[in-house]
Amino acid sequence: MVDILTNRDIIEAYLREELKVVNKSLPVKRKLLTELMREEYPHVITRDGGIHMFRKSELKLAYELLGDELAGKLYLPIILEVRTDLKETTLVVKDEVAAKLIARVLGLSKYELPLYLYPIHLQELRKKIETLIQYAFTLEGVVPQ
């Protein structure tokens, strides 16, 4: 039996490969906030073999905003999905604990999951927790593998 690839299949395969290149600075494995706080030089290794360092002051702020229990559930860095299929730049946070931290950093009293963020939110996040966040580029329906 011969597999027949459609134009859509070919385009999606190509986009998946391109997204791997664009997302090469993402971590191989994320770490818990509590684990990072114990490290002398808190960091994770990226897919391209680099090192992503965390500021201790930002880790401390996250711990203070979340408390003991939630700090033990927060994996860092927080991945902000950049949705390129929408007209306006939109970032999405799907993780519940990460969304709670971001909402507290931004002073949002109410929010829903997934948490949608816009460029106006990024300025505040970059000021307060820049090293705790990373961006992953995605297309709805095309997930980088």
pLDDT tens-digit map of 22-48: 889 999 999 999 999 999 999 999 999
Residue 140 pLDDT level (bands cut at 50, 70, 90): low
pLDDT tens-digit map of 99-111: 999 999 999 999 9
C-alpha dihedral, 57 to 80 to 22 to 128, nearest 10°: -30
Residue 141's pLDDT is what? 45
Between residues 18 and 56, which one has the greater pLDDT? 56
Residues 6 or more apart whose CB falls under 8 angstroms from that of 129 comprise: 58, 61, 62, 78, 101, 105
Q: Which helix (H) or strand (E) holds 52?
A: strand 51-53
Between residues 7 and 49, which one has the greater pLDDT? 49
Nearest to 133 by CA among 86, 82, 84: 82
Residue 24 contacts residue 47 (beta carbons within 8 Å): yes
Lowest mean pLDDT: which of 39-48, 65-74, 134-143?
134-143
Q: Domain spans of the chain?
A: 7-138
Q: From CA 19, how far away is CA 141, in angstroms rounded?
A: 13
> Is this structure's pTM higher than 0.95?
no
Q: From CA 112, how far away is CA 95, in angstroms rounded?
A: 11
